[in-house]
Amino acid sequence: MAELSTKHILGIKYLKKKDIELIFETTERFKEVLNRPIKKVPSLRDVTIANLFFENSTRTRISFELAEKRLSADVVNFSAAASSVKKGETLLDTVNNILSMKVDMLVMRHPAPGAPIFLSRHIDANIINAGDGTHEHPTQALLDAFSMREQVGDLEGKKIAIFGDILHSRVAMSNIFCLNKLGAKVKVCGPPTLIPKHIQHLGVEVSHDLRNTLEWCDIANVLRIQLERQDIKYFPSIREYVLRFGINKKLLDSLNKEVVIMHPGPINRGVELSSDVADSDQSIILQQVENGLATRMAILYLLAGKRGS
Ligand code: NCD
């Protein structure tokens, strides 16, 4: 049987194209399982998974927990706000204590870029990165790419634009790595202050023109402004941002094509997307969430096959 080339999912950077394709094939199988009357399968019986969330999350945390339960794993949840981290314990001590209770896999979200990579050098359990600071959010990129394929088929040569706060977005980073590996053409669009300098070296084009970029792309992946990660002002006001980079129905209807609209959530309605766009037929935002569950089941299932390796 085909297997992943790695025992952790630390970032898209560390995956091969064939790993991504295997995850897509497995996701399709689990999507079918999720549409059955009985949605639970015994694949991960006897596997214990700890979800370690050192940073806020709604979708990703619930999606992982449901994926684990649908696979019959035993699940423990840890949230930093209610833990001994607040009493001064180190990350490695916290994790080693949890692993002593015979936990097989860790799903981890942490504000420090590289935290899951650091842990992977010190522990044996399989680690899935559920977002590390501004670095990577691999499972989001995989569910995004899977959702894009459902819309436009093979992504080779397809035009994908990522809009918004590219500078602070781990979703943007992982999307860029993933789409590059799958042969898509990628353009990022936002105010110059929110686009990292030299990002062209990652193989993407840069634009500051919303309308032109929408005209160019097949799919628009729209991101939130990560105000909580911004210590200085990157643009004059939200009002000005909306005027130049907000996507509304009038703008979409005036284009010569119908662009698919995506967003990883949480949406700031009325900022990057107007409500009538977020809720329109062009938007596949809730399909992304649905695919997220099947994608995470696929990843957990494939990594469970690599336990102890
Ligand atoms: C994203 C995240 O946390 O990185 N959300 C998510 O996982 N669905 C994007 C965001 O917070 O804007």
DSSP 76-92: EEEEGGGSGGGGT--HH
**CA–centroid distance, residue 56 to ligand 1 (Å):** 9
Q: Whose CA is nearest to atom 12 of ligand 1?
A: 224
Residue 119 neighbours by CB under 8 Å, 6+ apart: 91, 92, 95, 106, 108, 127
pLDDT score for 173: 98
pLDDT score for 228: 86
Which fold would CATH assign to domain 12-137+289-304?
Rossmann fold (3.40.50)
**CA–centroid distance, residue 90 to ligand 1 (Å):** 25
Judge if the beta carbon of residue 137 lies within 6 A of ligand 1: yes
Out of 137, 167, 194, give the residue to mutate to test ligand 1, the one with the largest number of ligand atoms within 8 Å of its CB: 137
**CA–centroid distance, residue 14 to ligand 1 (Å):** 20
Q: Would you state the structure tokens that stand for residue 144, as one six-digit string?
A: 């995004």
| Ligand 1 atom with minimal separation from the 109 CA | 3
**CA–centroid distance, residue 294 to ligand 1 (Å):** 18
Q: Would you state the structure tokens that stand for residue 283, as one six-digit string?
A: 């938007």
| Ligand 1 atom with minimal separation from the 224 CA | 12
* Nearest-angstrom CA–CA distance, 47 and 179: 32
pLDDT score for 82: 67
Tell me how many degrees the CA angle 143-280-190 measures, rounded to the nearest 5. 65
Judge if the beta carbon of residue 170 lies within 6 A of ligand 1: yes
* Nearest-angstrom CA–CA distance, 234 and 221: 21
Q: Would you state the structure tokens that stand for residue 281, as one six-digit string?
A: 């037929």
pLDDT score for 79: 82
Q: In terms of CATH architecture, what is 138-284?
A: 3-Layer(aba) Sandwich (3.40)
**Domain range list for the chain:** 12-137+289-304, 138-284
Judge if the beta carbon of residue 11 lies within 6 A of ligand 1: no
Angle in degrees, 0-180, between the axes of helices 138-152 and 170-181, rounded to the nearest 10:
50
Q: Whose CA is nearest to atom 11 of ligand 1?
A: 266
**CA–centroid distance, residue 100 to ligand 1 (Å):** 30
**CA–centroid distance, residue 60 to ligand 1 (Å):** 8
Nearest CA to 266 out of 278, 248, 280 is that of 278
Judge if the beta carbon of residue 171 lies within 6 A of ligand 1: yes
Consecutive 10-residue averages of pLDDT for the chain (309 residues): 93 98 98 95 96 92 98 92 74 89 95 95 95 97 98 98 98 98 98 97 98 98 91 91 98 97 97 98 98 98 84
Beta bridge partners of 186: 160
